[in-house]
Amino acid sequence: MVNMIIYITLGFMITGIFFAVLRFIKGPTAADRTVALDTLTTIAMALLVLLAFVFKRFIYVDVALVYGVLGFIGVLVIARYLEGAL
């Protein structure tokens, strides 16, 4: 039961990552690609926490925390550059 729901959730997340990468490759402007990167950051944080639960290691959650902080800073820097204010 637990394994089945974890597999279903992993499948949903991987499909979301696939669509976001497709939008990254297809997107006409730079803002669309940055939106895809922002979405991918949040999906990847959830995926890393779920993988930490699958492998039963508490230390893996720290990777998700560091990833969230730094991905947020990267998206902000790209947005400031697009605005022309960096």
Partner 1 sequence: MIIYIILLLFLLLLMIGTAIYSIVQRDLLYAVIGTGVISLILSILFLFLQAPDVALTEAAIGVALTTIVFIITIRNTVRFEEEPKRPSKPASK
Partner 2 sequence: MRDILEIIGLILLLIGGIFLFLGGLGIFRMPDTYNRLQAGTKATTLGGMSVILGVGFLEPGWIIKAMVLVIFIAFSNPISSHALARANYKRKNYPYLKGGAEYDQYREVYVNQENKEENK
Residues that bind partner 1 (CB under 8 A): 7, 10, 14, 17-18, 21, 24-25, 30, 33-34, 36-37, 40-41, 44, 47-48, 51, 55, 57, 59-60, 62-63, 66-67, 70-71, 73-74, 77-78, 81, 86
Orientation angle between helical segments 2-26 and 30-55, nearest 10 degrees: 160
**Residues of span 13-52 touching partner 2 by CB under 8 A:** 13, 15-20, 22-23, 29, 31-32, 34-36, 38-39, 42-43, 45-46, 49-50, 52
Largest separation between any pair of C-alpha atoms in the chain: 52
Query: Residue 15, exposed/middle/buried by CB under 10 A (0-12, 13-18, 19+)?
Result: exposed
CB 14 to partner 2: min, Å: 9
